Amino acid sequence: MSMPSEKAEAHLSHPLFLNALQSVEQAAELIKCDENVLERLKKPKRCIAVSVPVRMDDYSVKVFTGYRVQYNSTLGPYKGGIRYHQGVDMGEVVGLAALMTFKNSLMGLPYGGGKGGICVDPTKLSRTEKQNLTRRYTSEIGPFIGPAKDIPAPDVGTDAQTMAWMMDTYSQESGYAQPGVVTGKPVEIGGSLGRVGATGLGAVYVAERAFERKGKSLKGATVVIQGFGNVGSHAALYAHERGAKVIAVSDVKGGIFNGDGLNIPELMDYIKTNKFVENFPKSKPISNEDLLLLGCDALFPCALENVIDTHNAEKIKAKMIIEGANGPVTNAATTILHKNGVFVVPDVIANGGGVVVSYFEWVQDIMSFFWDEEEINKRLKSIIIKAFDQSYTMATEKNVDMRLAGMAVAVQRLEKAMLLRGLYPR
Ligand code: GLU
């Protein structure tokens, strides 16, 4: 694989991006993708870095760095979340924007791929500071976003309230309400029913399908979930509601275990007041590292990238991995897991539920006509299952793992569209 060597391209050397590139190159080989298309797919179209000065509660001013990467717009406006985390840098955002491009393609959405973020620990900010940061960041990237250009959404460290501030700032600067500029908003201001739980629900639909394909059922299966944020908590809840036994979950502070199954609705109530899962009644503590190694029918890594790599892949005892997070399992680890018979459903399929319902939200905003939750969940299920099935067929036909298969389906759609659009000027 070619390695970007120039200093100017240092942001193209992040492990997450290199992993994505490697899959893209392998996928391109598998489907005999046009060489010129592949060259174009290997680079982000636009990388924006902005400084974001923020008035803090003590009246001092702190300057944060924000990013928005617009990776590819062949299929439509750029689309992808905004991450607030102390680990965010341009390289990570490029990797995440690339993943969005292939996820949106695989889901069959009329979107290109983008991602944004700010290097900040949001848990250290007051509500006012977070609002000031969000509004100034929105204003700084304002010229580049818009309902027809680039539509941000929540990701790690951001939520519906963050999107409400983004929507308001963009609308104030436009002079009129522009609900379609972001998705994942509260329902009261043009958000969609079902959006909050959509990524977790999508992951569970995918898990059900994967079990079905293996002649098994999610009902009665043992499930382990790493990360109890928006994705992990909803995946746990929907798996629990479908009769799975969720035996362990964790958050940044560590995990909890109960071999008979945790009561997830009670746990969701518990974290409303306690914030973290630790000391939940009828559970034993377990470290995040040990949690990943538990024997179970399905492991859902729903936190951050690169948690399963060559240092622990051989020790994984789960029979199936459903990637709720973006990039939790590296390519090298995927190869080891595949060899060991662990069925890995990659992020571009498993966590696609969020952006699928974001798409529904955007459509509803444009039409100013809103659907009920049943309609949304039904449509989500059919789109995500189709993406799973297309990838499964590709995996079976070409005898490759699901990561490569999903990427191949995604690259194939992009290739067709890029060849039809051609190159400007030529
Ligand atoms: N941040 C989510 C993801 O990684 C959602 C993106 C969106 O809804 O645009 O897929």
**Which pTM does this prediction carry?**
0.97
Indicate the residue among 351, 383, 411 that finishes a domain.
351
In a domain, 119, yes or no: yes
The predicted structure's pLDDT at residue 9: 87
Q: Would the CB of 347 count as within 6 Å of ligand 1?
A: no
Mean pLDDT calculated for residue range 51-64: 98
How many Å lie between the centroid of ligand 1 and the Cα of residue 153? 6
In a domain, 311, yes or no: yes
Same domain? For 59 and 110 the reply is: yes
In a domain, 217, yes or no: yes
The predicted structure's pLDDT at residue 200: 98
* Residue 3 binned pLDDT confidence (cut-offs 50, 70, 90): low
Same domain? For 218 and 154 the reply is: no
How many Å lie between the centroid of ligand 1 and the Cα of residue 354? 5
The answer, yes or no, to whether residue 401 has pLDDT greater than 70, is yes
Q: Which among 255, 243, 360 is positioned nearest to 302, based on CA atoms?
A: 255
Same domain? For 125 and 209 the reply is: no
Query: At which residue do the structure tokens 């569970």 appear?
Result: 204
Residue type for 74, please? Answer: T
Same domain? For 167 and 209 the reply is: no
In a domain, 398, yes or no: no
Give residue 283's Cα distance to chain centre. 29
How many Å lie between the centroid of ligand 1 and the Cα of residue 199? 8
Same domain? For 214 and 127 the reply is: no
Residue type for 27, please? Answer: A
The predicted structure's pLDDT at residue 8: 77
Here the CATH number for the domain that contains residue 55 is 3.40.50.10860
The answer, yes or no, to whether residue 2 has pLDDT greater than 90, is no
Same domain? For 289 and 256 the reply is: yes
Here the CATH number for the domain that contains residue 288 is 3.40.50.720
* Residue 411 binned pLDDT confidence (cut-offs 50, 70, 90): very high
The predicted structure's pLDDT at residue 426: 87
Same domain? For 166 and 251 the reply is: no
3-state helix, strand, coil in the chain (%, to 5): 50, 15, 35
Same domain? For 95 and 220 the reply is: no
Q: Which residues contact 87 (CB under 8 A, 6 or more apart)?
A: 119, 304
Q: Give tens-digit pLDDT for 236-294.
A: 999 999 999 999 999 999 999 999 999 999 999 999 999 999 999 999 999 999 999 99
In a domain, 366, yes or no: no
**Active-site residue set:** 115
Same domain? For 212 and 166 the reply is: no
Q: Would the CB of 192 count as within 6 Å of ligand 1?
A: no
Report the atom number in ligand 1 closest to the C-alpha of 103: 10
- Protein residue closest via CA to atom 8 of ligand 1: 355
Cα separation, 86 vs 118, whole angstroms: 8
The predicted structure's pLDDT at residue 1: 58
The answer, yes or no, to whether residue 138 has pLDDT greater than 80, is yes
Q: Would the CB of 355 count as within 6 Å of ligand 1?
A: yes
Q: Where are the beta strands (DSSP E) in 177-283?
A: 222-226, 245-251, 254-257
Mean pLDDT calculated for residue range 308-324: 98
Same domain? For 346 and 259 the reply is: yes
The tally of domains found in the chain comes to: 2
What is the domain extent for residue 49? 42-175
Indicate the residue among 336, 351, 366 that finishes a domain.
351
Same domain? For 234 and 338 the reply is: yes
Same domain? For 244 and 167 the reply is: no
Task: Choose the residue to mutate in 106, 159, 302, 358 for probing ligand 1, maximizing ligand atoms within 8 Å of C-beta.
Answer: 358
